[in-house]
Amino acid sequence: MKAKNPWLLNFAQVVLILVALGLVLLPTKITPTIFAWPLSWWACAICFLSALVCAFFAVRLSDTAVKQRVAEHMARRPSLTEQEFGLRYFSSDRAEIAAKLRKILTNLMDVDLSGMKPSDRFIQDLRMDDLDSMSTVEFVIQIEKEFGIEIPNSAAEKMTTFQSVVDYVAEALKEKAQ
């Protein structure tokens, strides 16, 4: 997915939102009194449904724009499998953990993460909060299930990069083994 004009997507979102707002307000702008509608009920319903369609497409454009920003962030990076990623960026004792964590993350996000680096930040670089607000919570839950560890909220809040998650899980597993 290549973003040629990301500003055009943002402009289209604004236009669709304004059209939706106009369609919702159309019946009230023409209304001479509070109780009388100059348009029939079906015309008002059509305006409202048209507004919903415009709002739906504005949200879809937003999702597309976010995915394109993530794709641009990873555009010039080498594409690696989970195992290659683990071996390339982590020590041998953490490579398997990194591979499993990236697989979990890939399953949760609808974005190609083959160009991800350990220094990528979840919010700023991978846009996890924009793509799915629950994905960060689901990521923590899946990590806890996969590795059999507990991650307190205070620790989860400090995990801002992929590297920090790998480090935390490796240390938690080391403590669990003792």
Return the minimum-mean-pLDDT range out of 58-67, 71-80, 101-110, 149-158: 58-67
pLDDT at 20: 64
Where are the domains positioned within the chain?
6-73, 82-177
Q: What is the pLDDT of residues 39-72, one digit of tens each?
A: 565 666 676 777 777 667 766 666 777 777 777 8
CATH topology of domain 82-177: 1.10.1200
Q: What is the pLDDT of residues 105-145, one digit of tens each?
A: 988 887 888 999 999 988 888 877 665 567 788 889 999 99
pLDDT at 27: 58
Three-state helix/strand/coil letters over 87-129: HHHCCHHHHHHHHHHHHHHHHHCCCCCCCCCCCCECCCCCCHH
pLDDT at 177: 85
pLDDT at 22: 64
In the chain, the percentage of residues whose pLDDT exceeds 70 is: 66
88, pLDDT greater than 50 = yes
Distances (CA, A) of 89 to 1, 94, 95, 170: 25, 9, 8, 15
